[in-house]
Amino acid sequence: MAQEHWQNIRDTLSSQIAQGHLAPGAQLPTESVLCQSFQAGRHSVRRAIAALAVEGKLRVEQGRGTFVEAAPLINYHIGRRTRFRQNLMEQGVAPAGEQISADLMVAPPEIAVALGLAEGAMVHRLLRRGLADGAPINISLSWHSAERFPDLAARRQTGHSITDIYRDHGIETYARKRTVILTRRPNPHEAALLRQHPDQPVMVVQKTDVDAAGAPIGHSEAVWAGARVQFTIDSLEEGRDV
């Protein structure tokens, strides 16, 4: 069966990206120029670009244009001692994070249970975005006891890592008690923060961290850009701090 015109455009652009003729970060010609180049109508060009955006190969920015996706593919190791910063640095990727919002609130019932807190306990609720070489790869919503970590929000805002904060509160080592991974479509706010097409799936990682005694110290849900990360589950990692 012969391909439709938009499929030929999609495959040609995809091949140009794969062969490096369209380099990561490069801006595509305008829609009118693409129509002339492919002898195609606007509908075919738009459909081809939308398909490649869903695949994570192109990024459409309103008012700026269409760009080849430049985000690195991260091989993220998940184990009992998973660390975001070291995970990326081991792959030669520069990690960074930015705090989007911070709230002090009464723990929702499910969070109180996850953290082993009494009803009415106060928690820090932090929304942060993780970056790899400047490209967003995840959005993390985390909760921590305000009584145990009173300075957590302020210190995260100034760039301190969660590992350093834990250590300063007497927690020399910590591990994951449980990790749950699922996939879904992002909501519009998540897609905008991740700079990805809203039809492109995300991976959601829910986890609870515990101290050396097994007491819960943090609970979070991270939404990862599906096309920019793959997960490796480390089942035998004694002594590995990643």
Would you state the pLDDT for residue 1? 43
How many other CB atoms are there within 10 angstroms of residue 139's CB atom? 22
pLDDT of 164-191, one tens digit each? 999 999 999 999 888 899 999 999 999 9
Which two three-digit tokens encode residue 26? 């490069």
Helix (H, G, I), strand (E, B) or coil at 214: coil
DSSP per-residue letters across 113-129: HHHTPPTT-EEEEEEEE
Spatial distance between the Cα atoms of 58 and 84, rounded to a whole number of angstroms = 26
* Cα 150 from Cα 76, distance rounded (Å): 30
Its pTM stands at 0.75
Domain boundary among 17, 39, 68: 68
Residue 90 and residue 37 share a domain: no
Domain interval for residue 28? 5-68
The residue among 33, 68, 103 that closes a domain is 68
Ranges of the chain whose pLDDT falls below 50: 1, 238-242
| Residues listed for the chain | 242
> Where does a domain end: 68, 92, 118?
68
Partnered with residue 216 across adjacent β-strands are 210
**What residue ranges in the chain does DSSP mark as E strands?**
58-61, 65-68, 74-78, 95-106, 122-132, 135-145, 174-184, 202-211, 216-225, 229-233
Distance CA 157, CA 113 (A): 26
CATH of the domain at 108: 3.40.1410.10
Are 99 and 119 in a shared domain? yes
Q: Could you tell me if residue 239 is inside a domain? A: no
**Could you tell me if 166 and 182 lie in one domain?**
yes
Together in a domain, 61 and 84: no
Same domain, 26 and 89: no
Nearest to 218 by CA among 75, 74, 84, 77: 84
Give the Cα separation of 104 and 214 in Å (integer). 25
What is the rounded CA–CA span in Å between residue 209 and residue 35? 52
Per-residue CA distances from 152 to 43, 167, 223 (Å): 50, 12, 21
144 and 32 in one domain?
no
The phi, psi pair for 111, rounded to 5°, reads: -75, -40
CATH number for position 53: 1.10.10.10
Only one residue has tokens 């120029």, namely: 33
